[in-house]
Chains A and B, each alone.
Chain A
Amino acid sequence: MSYRIALAGNPNSGKTTVFNLLCGAREKIGNWSGTTVEKKQGYFTHQNEKVEVVDLPGTYSLSVYSLDERIARDFLIKEKPDLVVCVVDASNLERNLYLVIQLLEMGQPVLLDLNMMDMVEKSKIKIDTQKLSRILGIDIVETVASKGKGLRELKEKIVGNLRRKERKIFRIDYHSLEKTIEEIASLLKDKKILSIPPRGAGVRILEQDFELLNKVKEAIPQIEKIKEKAETEITRLIGEDLETFIIEKRYAFLRGVIKECVKKEVSLEARLTFSDKLDKILTNRILGIPLFLFFMYLLFQLVFTLGTPLADLVDGFFGKLTESAKLFFENQNLPAWLGSLVSDGIISGVGSVLVFLPNIMFLFLGISILEGSGYLARAAFVMDRFMHALGLHGKSFIPMLLGFGCNIPGIMATRTLESRKDRILTILINPLMSCSARLPVYTLFASAFFPKNQGLVVFSLYLLGIVLAIFVAKVFKHIFFKGEVAPLVMELPPYRIPIPRNVLLSMWTRSFLFIKKAGTVIFLAVVFIWLLSSLPLGAQYAGENSLIGKLGKILAPLFKPAGFGFWQVAVALLFGILAKEVVVGSLGTLYGASEEGLKEVLLQHFSPLSAYAFLIMTLIYIPCVAAIATIKRETNWKWTALAVSYSLILGWGLSVLFYQIGRFFGG
């Protein structure tokens, strides 16, 4: 028999770390709330029991405010896993247990995982787990998931709990509301329309769970009356609304539990003091933003000063490979077209993209460190005032920052935003964040045309993307999303020194996607481009009379006003929609050259002015196919069409404007 369990808990309590540990998986871990925005599945086997594990996004309670929380809640309530393992940050017990008791009220079988026990021990807090287990009526496991401690016992208890059938009933005393709750519960019991315990359902209905209320309204029409009566009575007696009253009672219960089970020896943790001291500087009113910019600058320096020498090595390797492939095919008397396909097409095309792997690995290393340290959430806080000016709030900043790695996780991360308006707006401007796929294009042109100021030129493009995002956000906000911004409320995790294993893992997983993309999408694209360049038979390879030459010639005039009206460039931009790296890959294929050779060819075609205009175009025009698909999935066709069309118009308009102004001033 196989079982299904769910990992639930507050944001940033370490669910994914536990998940990876249980299933031997490699999901991304970050030190900020909202790293996991989708449910993820894995498996493990223990004592011959096969257990499916679902890792849920973090949630504070069963009342939902944002999309990722809804995913968690719906799974817990509707799918009814065989067991919920509640992963709890043991150093913040009171608030973390809130979700646990809500689940218990709903009749969910729960196993409590007190995670981060090392932090508790360090801060000299003593938790009486036996007593806690007795009060809540559930089993407790202590773990330090980040160090792999407690895994055995966790598996043991999971299987033990799954095999056990009877459970203790959990209830909280709601004082003045008890009569009403029992009344509703007995009505529900008679009708048998819900799969959750009647008492738990009654409490949920009273605390304004409208979904549940609508479900039972038809069968029990008097339920609304009962609820209204209770509402007026509570307001008269206590001066609070029902929802507040119920939440208060739960907290009162928890306070009692904490008093019983938790002994503090020292009131302030050293870790927090250290964290607060850092925050004094990093989130300082005056220093906060300059420091953030400084870190970003440092990141780009890291990407280029360390990445570029390695990239040159890779380039040398592919250059040699092209040569020896050519020789090999000539010596073996194989058909010339095959040699051309392999050396001009595949090796030049895929190679010219893979050259940038070192740069991209360093970029992902930087982002992983930012995520793991806890600084990411601070950046959102520091940027809140600035983001407010755009009509967005600080939380929208995290998706934008992630967009520098890749727009797709950036767009996905908008799920943590509570208001739909904020979400759509943040999605629309996300493609303006220069993702790592655009880096190869920037680097190639910057090193060819601005060898002395490579870092600066690339930095300027990233900055331009941000400035445009501000501008576009303002305009769209004005046209489509008038009204107030949902207020920012966000928990800041304590700073942690990122765990090297997690950082490297996260860097590797993301870099591997890049390699995979080079092996699939980009590979197919360059083969296709090579094919179009070689046909019709007899035409010169990648010449004006090849199919691709003809196609390019139709498009090229469009780009003339921007200073790069060559058909090769038009083709590169067209295929760049598949994936932005293809811009470089197809230039490599069309000019049949590796990176060094490509630079020389480009120097003949472009001036520094038109090169920069081309980079502006590459930055802005049309999100890649994968990003378009993600936007569609997260919004609808209307917004997707807007995202595609505005970026195309803006990109073209701006590169033309830049080129024409530059020429006017004699550039």
Chain B
Amino acid sequence: MMFLSVVEEKRLVRIVRIRGGKGFISRLMSIGIKEGKIVKVLNNIRGPVLISLGNLRIALGRGASFKIFVEYVKEGKNEL
């Protein structure tokens, strides 16, 4: 398990846990980011990350990406 903020570009990860207040968590959920979802890291500029979730492209700031724990998913196993 690791922070989303340290994942390299092009890797697929599964969201394991989201820390933070209720507001933050349900904000993420309303966009579609929640535990169990698989996302791809498109871009990581040392903290802020750009991820894709299906058709969506979502920017997460430094504060946000440090609150999301993820684990690697084997490449190719899950299509997006």
Interface residues, chain A, CB within 8 Å of chain B? 60-61, 63, 65, 91-92, 94-95, 98, 208, 241, 243-244, 247-248, 267-269, 272, 275-276, 279-280, 283-285, 288, 377-378, 380-382, 384-385, 388, 393-394, 418, 484-494
User: Smallest distance from the beta carbon of A622 to chain B beta carbons, Å?
Assistant: 33
Q: How many residues of B contact A (CB 8 A)?
A: 37
C-alpha gap A150/B64 in the complex (Å): 40
B16 partner residues in chain A, CB cutoff 8 A: none
| Beyond A243-B26, A275-B57, A488-B48, 16 additional pairs, beta carbon < 8 A | A208-B22, A247-B26, A247-B34, A279-B43, A279-B57, A283-B45, A378-B59, A385-B62, A393-B63, A394-B48, A488-B60, A489-B24, A489-B61, A489-B64, A491-B57, A494-B57
Q: Is the CB of A489 within 8 A of B43?
A: no
User: Smallest distance from the beta carbon of A14 to chain B beta carbons, Å?
Assistant: 15
Interface residues, chain B, CB within 8 Å of chain A? 20, 22-34, 42-48, 50, 52, 54-64, 67, 79-80
Q: In the complex where A279-B50, A284-B43, A382-B45 touch, is A388 in contact with B29 (Cβ < 8 A)?
A: no
Q: Is the CB of A385 within 8 A of B46?
A: yes
C-alpha gap A33/B51 in the complex (Å): 17
Chain A residue, CB-CB nearest to B23: A65
Q: Is the CB of B62 within 8 A of A388?
A: yes
C-alpha gap A483/B22 in the complex (Å): 18
Chain B residue, CB-CB nearest to A282: B43
Contact partner of A65 (CB less than 8 A), chosen from B27, B34, B42, is B27
Chain A residue, CB-CB nearest to B59: A381
Q: In the complex where A283-B43, A489-B28 touch, is A269 in contact with B23 (Cβ < 8 A)?
A: no
A493 partner residues in chain B, CB cutoff 8 A: 57
Q: In the complex where A288-B45, A385-B45, A385-B46 touch, is A491 in contact with B56 (Cβ < 8 A)?
A: yes
C-alpha gap A247/B36 in the complex (Å): 14
Q: Is the CB of B50 within 8 A of A283?
A: yes
Q: In the complex where A60-B30, A276-B42 touch, is A385 in contact with B48 (Cβ < 8 A)?
A: yes
Q: In the complex where A95-B32, A243-B22, A267-B79 touch, is A492 in contact with B60 (Cβ < 8 A)?
A: no
Q: In the complex where A283-B50, A385-B47 touch, is A491 in contact with B31 (Cβ < 8 A)?
A: yes
Q: Can you sample 29 A-B contacts with CB below 8 Å?
A: A60-B31, A63-B26, A63-B30, A92-B55, A94-B54, A95-B32, A98-B30, A208-B22, A247-B29, A247-B34, A272-B55, A272-B57, A276-B42, A285-B43, A384-B47, A384-B59, A384-B61, A385-B45, A388-B47, A388-B61, A394-B61, A488-B48, A489-B27, A489-B61, A489-B64, A490-B58, A490-B61, A491-B57, A491-B58
Q: Is the CB of A384 within 8 A of B31?
A: no
Q: Is the CB of B60 within 8 A of A489?
A: yes
Q: Is the CB of A488 within 8 A of B59?
A: yes
C-alpha gap A60/B26 in the complex (Å): 11
Chain A residue, CB-CB nearest to B35: A244
Q: Is the CB of A285 within 8 A of B28?
A: no
B20 partner residues in chain A, CB cutoff 8 A: 487
B30 partner residues in chain A, CB cutoff 8 A: 60-61, 63, 98, 247
